[in-house]
């Protein structure tokens, strides 16, 4: 019973919050509601027994990602009301609406397969983080490592792109300018 109440509560709230995120013209509202929606989603994860995922959601999304966005927002001086031109395209809402209708249609079907053997059921007696850890470090070790590489790439990319060296472009400089600049150093 409480599960139902929680689900509907969380659902309505997330939908509402995300609607604010995509519709609000104030970036601060948008970001805040996004963060709040993500918190609620972690609540859904807990509801589904995915404790570890819920925690990750909280830490990574709400903690890290949102913090990054916050910094970015400050960097871009975007805290003030943002004026977006030509946003009220009816096509967008038509597409979104159609998408919603179609997805609902699709998901309203008895999608849950019967007689499907779970490939990686949680280890008996393990808590959710333990079970996740077991699968993650056996079956999904490789994706895990690749994800590490991916994060490394992201890090390098972030550093390189945001770095000072990007301020001057060798691409558009003539050869003389390039040597001149080198000499300056």
Restricted to residues 45-64, the positions that interact with another protein (CB under 8 A) are: 45, 48-50, 52-53, 56-57, 60-61, 64
Restricted to residues 102-121, the positions that interact with another protein (CB under 8 A) are: 102-113, 116-121
From CA 170, how far away is CA 185, in angstroms rounded? 15
Alpha helix (H) residue ranges in the chain: 2-23, 27-47, 51-56, 66-75, 90-108, 128-137, 141-162, 175-184
Restricted to residues 118-177, the positions that interact with another protein (CB under 8 A) are: 118-123, 125-126, 130-132, 134-136, 138-143, 146-147, 149-162, 165-167, 169-175
Restricted to residues 62-81, the positions that interact with another protein (CB under 8 A) are: 64-65, 68-69, 72-73, 75-76, 78
DSSP string, 41-76: HHHHHHHTT-HHHHHHIIIIIIIIIHHHHHHHHHHT
Contacts of 40 (CB under 8 A, 6+ apart): 10, 13, 14, 17
Which of residues 31, 36, 39, 62 is near another protein by CB under 8 A? 31
Comparison of 165 and 184: residue with beta carbon closer to another protein: 165
Beta carbon of residue 146, minimum distance to another protein (angstroms, whole number)? 5
């Amino acid at each position: 019973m409480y599960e139902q109440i929680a689900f509907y509560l969380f659902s309505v709230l997330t939908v509402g919050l995300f609607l604010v995120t995509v519709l609000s013209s104030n970036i601060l509202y948008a970001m805040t509601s996004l963060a709040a929606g993500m918190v609620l989603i972690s609540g859904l994860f807990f509801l589904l027994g995915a404790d570890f995922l819920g925690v990750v959601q909280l830490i990574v999304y709400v903690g890290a990602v949102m913090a990054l966005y916050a910094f970015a927002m400050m960097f871009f001086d975007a805290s003030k009301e943002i004026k977006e031109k030509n946003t009220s395209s009816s096509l967008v809402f038509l597409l979104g609406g159609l998408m919603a209708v179609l997805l609902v249609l699709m998901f309203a079907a008895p999608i849950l397969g019967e007689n499907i053997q779970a490939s990686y059921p949680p280890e008996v007696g393990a808590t959710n983080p333990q079970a996740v850890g077991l699968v993650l470090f056996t079956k999904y070790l490789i994706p895990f490592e690749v994800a590490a590489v991916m994060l490394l790439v992201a890090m390098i990319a972030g550093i390189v792109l945001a770095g000072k060296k990007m301020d001057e472009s060798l691409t558009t400089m003539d050869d003389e300018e390039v040597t001149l600049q080198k000499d300056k150093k």
